[in-house]
Structure 1
């Protein structure tokens, strides 16, 4: 969640009043036909000036309503197909994308701006029900400063996490409750194939700790996180080191997480929702994504912050799977994970 993802840290660093101000404006000044309600995950944030500029240019106020993580968001949308709680949805990622599409909860729309990059990340075999906005590669992060202090070489790949030298050092995220946790599970399945359960078992036997979500894993237990915990290895994003000096991402064994926006079937303001999608693909929003949500933009030619090439390079290879394939196998994989971890 991309949240569902490291975006929680970005949210903590930015002004929480941005969305609240927008909601107030919607309630007090804007007629319903001039409002577009967008359901989002809890980690969504954009600079308020961009939201204000969009309103000035179009007369449309965007009301962002947070609805849990990517999985919860997908469930809310899927269960309310045809009777939506808003006009659009942002933040369903490729690990959950098939669910609302198969539920018939989304209205097809192909933005004219999608050809500038977003189309490369379209959901395979779909009818443009979802449009890619950003991507955030889920990778193992390590605290290099911790390893320097302990005079231990840093792990360099997924295989190293089974090494006794790294016993009791890793924090994993439960794939049943965490979007990046699910992405890491998929990365291991793509890397180890039918041997993935053996890999999970080896991690647990080597003392890896499993927690409910990114906030606990990164901000509380990770040694470089806000809580200065004791664990120097954690599941996060390739872009996380841009915000956390002294850390790096293991750029092998990452999963390509993509976040989408779509129009909800039965929306009261479909025309306005289309304009919001075009806006999210426009240069102003795309340029803001790296610093507001610590994700990579999808539109080609969008500049990244100067230090990202050094501190947050994108992986050259990522594990990828179609949303349909993920949806068909999710429950079986989760059961196998639970059986392995709880044995």
Structure 2
């Protein structure tokens, strides 16, 4: 069983938080440009290099980018800028001299910060399915959703069966003494899944209740790690690596990668009542010298071919819900019907405050 490492991402370096929070912008939805590069523009018009800046978890099947290069006459230069948090930090700090032409991997927990810093030139391809445009989010109208996924608590169902204990199913369950010392999560100050769980609890318990929830969870033997890999592979009993905790913060898709050899069942399960929906976007970087090339690459990332390639390579759902999914995902990796949600503007306004409060409550 192997699960590709998603972002063990730094939310933001502590020293950068004041600087990033001070960045502002006036990215008005009305400025959105909906003019993709015409198919007939041809190789001569689009020849040259287009630079794609991504987080470290970007991956497509062999030959996928080459097919785009063959069809357009462009050469794609790929720059991996680090985890999701580092990526946004770099985009903001280099807004006046962009790292490339297109960025992929800014998610809905970070996007409003990048928009406020005028990182993007608003653009969306024409003809996107409604399931894609519905994921844009208020204030993010100039970005293009590429994939989505649910950050959820996962349980080692085999462990609970062996112990004769009913697995937890909700956030509240985890504060029950029956589940003391069983849960490991990631730090929202250093991990994007960790921050997603913090946001889920803000939505679940409200401004007046989320801190008390974390205090109760901490008192029940919660373990916190810096990144997803440590939590999942070192501490989680369901990863097959000798971990001792049967509850871990991961993704709704994770159980699709712990399926038994005969394909009949998964040895883990996602708790779909604990999920926060992440959406990852692509955008044209403001100040690019190659806007036509950049728009052509965004068009490609939103194409049916790339959308169908996402589940097997990045273990996220394609943004376009009309795209066929791997057969096992329907059974073992369903998305939450009602994931928790916090508006991008609220995240941007309270990110530092919430992280500081969480740290004071849980870490001390």
Normalised to the residue count of structure 2, the TM-score between the two structures is 0.83
Q: Deviations over 1:286-320 (max 9, x none)?
A: 11111111111111311111111110111100111
How many residues are treated as equivalent by the alignment? Answer: 316
Residue 5 of structure 2 is matched in structure 1 by 8
CA drift at 1:227: 2.4
Given that 1:113 and 1:282 are in contact with CA atoms closer than 8 Å, whether structure 2 keeps it comes out as no
CA positional deviation for 1:9: 6.3
Tell me, yes or no, if the aligned pair for 1:41 and 1:67 is still in contact at 8 Å.
yes
2:160 equivalent to 1:147: yes
CA drift of 1:70 comes to 1.2
Task: Answer yes or no: is the 8 Å Cα contact 2:47–2:72 preserved in 1.
Answer: no
Give 1:247 shift: 0.5
Equivalent positions of 1:79-158 (< 5 A) are: 79-128=93-142, 130-158=143-171
Structure 2: state its 5+ residue gaps. 8-45, 260-266
1:193-232 matches, within 5 Å, as: 193=206, 194-225=208-239, 227-232=241-246
Number of the residue aligned with 2:327: 306
- With over 3 angstroms needed to count, the CA separation of the structure-2 counterparts of 1:82 and 1:114, relative to structure 1, is farther
**Residue 268 (structure 1) aligned to one of 283, 289, 296:** 289
Alignment of 1:152-167 (within 5 A): 152-167=165-180
CA distance, structure 1, for counterparts of residue 108 and residue 6 of structure 2 = 22
- Correspondence for 2:300 among 250, 266, 279: 279
SS at structure 2 position matched to 1:90 = strand
* Deviation (angstroms), 1:273: 1.3
Aligned counterpart, 2:309: 288
Which structure 2 residues correspond to residues 175-186 of structure 1 after superposition, within 5 A? 175-186=188-199
Q: Which structure 1 segments of 5+ residues have no match? A: 1-5, 11-31
SS across alignment from 1:117: helix
Aligned match of 1:188 in 197, 201, 217?
Answer: 201
Instruction: Summarize deviations over 1:186-213 as a string: whole Å, max 9, x none.
Output: 0011001121111101111111100001
**Cα deviation 1:221-240 (Å, max 9, x = unaligned):** 11122523111111111111
- Residues in 1 aligned to 2:65 and 2:156: alpha-carbon distance in whole angstroms: 36
The residue matched to 1:48 in structure 2 has which SS? coil
Q: Which residue number in structure 2 is paired with residue 48 of structure 1?
A: 62
RMSD over aligned Cα atoms: 1.7
TM-score scaled to structure 1, two decimals? 0.88
Q: Alpha carbons of 1:299 and 1:223: their partners in 2 closer, same or farther (altered >3 Å)?
A: same
Instruction: State how far apart, in whole Å, the 1-side matches of 2:239 and 2:295 are.
Output: 38
> Which segments of structure 1 move beyond 6 Å, counting only runs of 4 or more?
none
Measure the CA separation in 1 of the matches of 2:227 and 2:106.
17
CA apart distance, 1:144: 0.4
Residue in 2 aligned with 1:22? none
